[in-house]
Structure 1
Amino acid sequence: MSSRAEILALLRENARYSAEDMARQTDLDPAEVEDVIAELEADGVIAGYQAIIDYRELEDERVRALVELNVTLDRETSYADIAERLAKFPEVEGLRLVSGDYDFDMEVEGDSMSEVSRFISEKVAPVPEITQTVTHYVMESYKERGIVFGDGDDDDRLSVSP
């Protein structure tokens, strides 16, 4: 595995590892680790760093929805054009062109279900190329970006014995 791949794997595991922590886990010294990270950032490979938040643990829990979008393209409009337009909205947390039964998979966050619904109906659905939206509200998150939430001891289902 290359030093770039090793550093990326470690950063995906924990972006708060220090250069010293990563040097201990690789064959690099801390200065080399910092150089590799700086190169990855300059090349745009590392686009940013974010905390993974378990909103259930906060008083002001956010409403999240996954939205399927179908589009019909015309001669002047590409998928990239539609993506650029949608990605500008602050409510849009994630947007991907996907294969399958729909074209885009969009993640949306808001303070309430009505706020998310209003955003979809007033800002997304009116985009001329969007022909259909299907909104799925996230009821519970168990794992985000490789991080499992909770300690697993909250299973309150009753045991059934034959």
Structure 2
Amino acid sequence: MKFSESERQILRLLQQNGRASNVELSQKVGLSESPCFRRVKQLEEAGVISGYAAIVDQRKLGLDVTAFVQVTLDQRSEQDTEAFLEAVAAEGHIMECYATSGDYDFLLRVVARNIDDFADISMRRILKFPGVKNIVSTFSLQTIKNSQVLPT
């Protein structure tokens, strides 16, 4: 999809501040309010802007542990994979899930209160998800960069 420079500016501004008013956007982009509003709506309707959310500091919620969990499935039948994905979707501590190429099938980003909480999540939940053969966990020691802002 091709974007005009105005649309790219709107996307950059909304990624930096999703609460920016249409007046603020129109002034910064150099459009009058009506065309700016129409462009934002078009971007939403096209699914380019898929939603708006508050970015919450996980540590302020007491979620001090971030782990990356490599998951290998025992069998890769469509039913097993679907059941696994449903279990992943239902688990609130799993923040992201990626199907991967290479030595394992999925990579999960999991948050937990502490190491004991993570042990419970991994051993009593994730390892019992349908089709899971093995998991390998790596812990984040420090967040260097965590951005939701995509290049436009």
Mark yes or no: TM-score above 0.5: yes
Q: Which of the numbers 142, 145, 151 marks the counterpart of 2:144? A: 142
Task: Please say if residues 83 and 130 of structure 2, whose CA atoms lie closer than 8 Å, have aligned partners that are also in contact.
Answer: no
Structure 2 gap ranges (5+): none
Residues 9-28 of structure 1 aligned to structure 2 (within 5 Å) = 9-28=12-31
Task: Please say if residues 94 and 110 of structure 2, whose CA atoms lie closer than 8 Å, have aligned partners that are also in contact.
Answer: yes
Q: Alignment length, in residue pairs?
A: 145
Task: Please say if residues 52 and 144 of structure 1, whose CA atoms lie closer than 8 Å, have aligned partners that are also in contact.
Answer: no
TM-score (norm 2): 0.75
1:81-133 deviations in whole A, cap 9, x for unaligned?
A: 53232021111111122223322121111211111121111111112312221
Q: Is 1:98 aligned with 2:90?
A: no
Q: Which of the numbers 70, 73, 76 marks the counterpart of 2:72? A: 70
Higher relative contact order by CA 8 Å / sep ≥ 6: 1 or 2? 2
Bigger share in helix = 2
Distance 1:59 1:86 in 2: 21
Cα gap change, 1:68 to 1:40, in 2 (>3 Å): same
Secondary structure in structure 1 of the residue aligned to 2:124: helix
Structure 1 gap ranges (5+): 148-162
Secondary structure in structure 2 of the residue aligned to 1:96: strand
Q: CA RMSD in A?
A: 2.7
Task: Please say if residues 22 and 33 of structure 1, whose CA atoms lie closer than 8 Å, have aligned partners that are also in contact.
Answer: yes
Distance 1:25 1:100 in 2: 45
Distance 1:13 1:138 in 2: 25
Task: Please say if residues 84 and 130 of structure 2, whose CA atoms lie closer than 8 Å, have aligned partners that are also in contact.
Answer: no
TM-score (norm 1): 0.71
Secondary structure in structure 1 of the residue aligned to 2:79: coil
The match for 2:49 is 46
